[in-house]
Structure 1
Amino acid sequence: MSGWRQLSPVLASANEDRLVFECPGCKVKHGIQHGPGTGPRWCWNGSAEKPTFTPSVLVTWSEPSDNPGEFDDTSKDIKRVCHSFVTDGRIQFLSDCTHALAGQTVDLPDWKDDSQ
């Protein structure tokens, strides 16, 4: 059981206030929190078919260096960025993204449930 509840072909819900979509740039799921509550919150237009989230969605993480001698040295980790606007069911990747879709705008891909 994945814990996702699919709302449309492109959007799922992880719980009452968390929405999740597939990122074709990172090839992983990104989520936002909406509505009242603590922590960062985004506005959502209420559309599961053509969602819009504001403000932008910024995801950052680090990956270990590709050099085997640097695996255990976190100062050598590779910094990754996915920064986008999701508007009317399309995702606009900003130029600071570190993946191949930087600077492009594409449709949100169909939701894939990884538990199946």
Structure 2
Amino acid sequence: MSDNVIRPFQDKDGKRIGYHIWCEGCEEYHGIWVYNSNSYNGAKWTFNEDMIKPTFSPSLLVRSGHYQEDHKGGCWCDYNKKNPDKKAPFKCGVCHSFIRNGQIQYLNDCTHKLAGQTIDLKPDPND
């Protein structure tokens, strides 16, 4: 198992474009585009090139479901209400954080249990 707390990802041609972090609050990966701009909204971050104690800037804001700015009706909350025995693999939420020196500072606008807390980034639990 590696000590790295981030994992690189590539474009379709195999060129590194950014990194994934495991988010303990959302219990899923978040992508951070460093070498190319994000195709969704053009976002791009700076990175200190440290795989063990990374710092990315600016903050990372991830919105899903009805929290997305371009949301147009229907969401995972609605799906789950209609299908209580077959929960969606996704959920609606906000995760807003600063990633500095190997720690993730979850801001108070997060909708998950770690809002307002700062914790160490952990290596990928799936490694």
Instruction: Find out whether 1:95 has 2:105 as its counterpart.
Output: no
Q: Percent identity?
A: 39
TM-score, structure 2 normalization: 0.70
Q: 1:67 aligns with which of 66, 69, 81?
A: 81
Partner of 2:23: 23
The alignment of Structure 1 onto Structure 2 pairs a total of residues equal to 101
CA RMSD of aligned residues (A): 2.2
TM-score, structure 1 normalization: 0.77
Whole-Å separation in 2 of the counterparts to 1:67 and 1:36: 38
Whole-Å separation in 1 of the counterparts to 2:64 and 2:56: 21
Partner of 1:72: none
Alpha carbons 2:103, 2:118 under 8 Å: kept:
yes
Structure 2: which 5+ residue stretches go unaligned? 11-15, 66-75, 84-90
Structure 1: which 5+ residue stretches go unaligned? 1-5, 70-77
Greater share of strand? 1
Q: 3-state DSSP class of the match of 2:125?
A: coil
